[in-house]
Amino acid sequence: MKTQKTWFITGASRGFGLNITKAVLASGDKVVATVRNKPEELATQFNNNENLYVVTLDITNEAQAKQAAAQAIDHFGSIDVLVNNAGYGLLAAVEEATDQEVKQNYEVNVFGTLNVIRAVLPYMRKQHSGHVINISSVGGLGAYYGWGLYGSTKFAIEGITEGMALELAPLGIHATVVAPGFFRTNFLDTSSLSRTANVIDDYAETVGTMRQFATEANYQQPGDPEKLAQAFVKLAAAENPPVHLPLGNDTLKRFREKTAAFEKDIADWYDVVTGTDHDDVAVKA
C-alpha cells in the first residue's frame, strides 16, 4: 500500500518546479510549494487543491526558510521529500561578470539552497527518514564556455550533495543530486537567465556564439519537462535512490565525454600523476 508523502518544492511557480508540483499532486502526494510572491495565484492554478499548500519564500532569507519549513510541518505534519529547485542562470565569460553578479548567483544557487537544507533537515532527522533532492545541471558535470560561473554553482551543489549522502545515510535520509540537460522550459528566458551587460569582444568566438545559441535554442531544447517531472516521482519512490541522477541524453553524452577526456589526461600524464608521493611511500606501494 502506497504511503502518501509530503514534498517541499522551492521555486514552484514555473519551470521544473511547476512541472514537478503537477506530477506529484497527480501521483496523490502532498506538496508544500514555495514561491517568492503571490502564493494565491499558484493555489488558484491548482483549483485550491487540498493536497497543495503554497508558502512565500525567498530562499536567500534563512529566517524565512525556517518559517516556511515550520509552516509545512504545522500544515501537513511532515516533510518527506525536499526538492531544491529554485535558482537562476548566469551567461557570461568568467572575466565578464562583475563581483556582484557572481556573488548574487552564488547567494541564490548555493547559499539559498543551503538555507533550505538547514531549515528542513532537523525535521527529517527527527523522523529518521526523508529524501533531499538537489537540482544541479549538465553544467555542473562539465563546463561549457559562457556557463563557467553558473556551472560552478552547480559543481558546488554536486559536492554538497555527495557529502550529505554520506552524512545522512546512517540517519535514514537519502540525498540525490539531479543534473538535467537542456529541457524545454523558460530557463533561457530573461525571467530565469541573467546575461551580463559587460561583453568582451575577444570572447566572440566562444561566449558570443553561446549567447546566440541560447537565443536560438530557447523552447527548442530536447528535454521534455513533463517526463523529467515523472522521473522525480519515480526517484522519490525508490527504495535505494542514486546519489547522482543525470537526466537527458545530452547530459549523459557530456558526462561520458568528460570522463573519457579525464582518463586520457591521466594516461598521458600517468608518471607525473603517480610520481608525487614521498619515496618511502612509493617503495611500499
Question: Which among 128, 105, 131 is positioned nearest to 7, based on CA atoms?
Answer: 131
From 5, 27, 123, 150, the catalytic residue: 150
pLDDT computed for residue 282 by the predictor: 64
pLDDT computed for residue 182 by the predictor: 79
From 5, 53, 154, 203, the catalytic residue: 154
From 136, 137, 152, 203, the catalytic residue: 136
DSSP letter for 43, please: H
For CA atoms 105, 106, 111, 117, the dihedral sign is positive
Catalytic (active site) residue 191: no
pLDDT computed for residue 1 by the predictor: 42
**Longest CA pairwise span in the chain (Å):** 71
Q: Give mean pLDDT in consecutive 10-residue pieces for the chain, a chain of 285 residues.
A: 86 92 97 94 94 97 98 98 94 94 96 98 98 94 90 96 98 96 61 78 91 68 83 96 94 93 97 91 65
Catalytic (active site) residue 234: no
pLDDT computed for residue 196 by the predictor: 84
Catalytic (active site) residue 154: yes
pLDDT computed for residue 251 by the predictor: 92
Grid coordinates given for 208: 558570443
User: Which pTM value belongs to this model?
Assistant: 0.91
H helices present in the chain, as ranges: 15-27, 39-45, 62-76, 99-106, 113-127, 148-168, 209-217, 225-237, 249-268, 270-274, 279-284
